[in-house]
Amino acid sequence: MPKILLVEDNEMNRDMLSRRLRRRGYEVDVAVDGGEAVDMARTMPDLMLLDMSLPVMDGWAVATRLKGDDETRRIPIIALTAHAMVGDKEKALAAGCDDYETKPIDFPRLLDKINELIAPN
C-alpha cells in the first residue's frame, strides 16, 4: 500500500483529503506544519502532498529543503495551494515540487497525478 505524507494545516481539508485517500487504499500520514513535514519525510513516504501556505516553514521552503537533501530528494511532491496567480505554478516547480494542484482539489485529477508519480517504472 503506497504511503502518502499529507502536509496540511487546515483541519477540514486535512480530514477530507486523508479520508478520501484512505478509501482509495493509500496509507496516509499527516503533518500540520512545515517543520513536521521535514521531520516526517525521513519516514520515506512514496509521495508528499504539500500545502504551500503552512506555519513554521512554508511549502516552498519545505520543498527546497527536501529536494536539496540526498536522503529525501527522491520523494515526489505535489504542491497543493489556493495560490492560482500567474507564476505560482512555476514558483512551486522551481522550489522542487514535481506537480501542482490548486484548491479546491479536483480529486480525480489529483489521483491521476499521484498515480503517475508513484507508478512503478
pLDDT tens for 5-18 read: 999 999 999 999 99
54-71 average pLDDT score: 96
* pLDDT recorded at residue 86: 76
Cell of 98: 514535481
68 CB burial (10 A radius; 0-12, 13-18, 19+) = exposed
* pLDDT recorded at residue 29: 98
* pLDDT recorded at residue 89: 87
Cell of 38: 521535514
* pLDDT recorded at residue 119: 79
Whether the per-residue pLDDT at 83 is higher than 80: the answer is no
> What percent of the chain is modeled with pLDDT above 90?
87
* Upper half-sphere CA count for residue 75 (Cβ side, 13 Å): 32
Q: Does domain 3-118 have CATH number 3.30.70.1400?
A: no
Q: What is the pLDDT of residues 43-61, one digit of tens each?
A: 999 999 999 999 999 999 9
* pLDDT recorded at residue 120: 65
Q: What are phi and psi of 21, to 5 degrees?
A: -70, -40
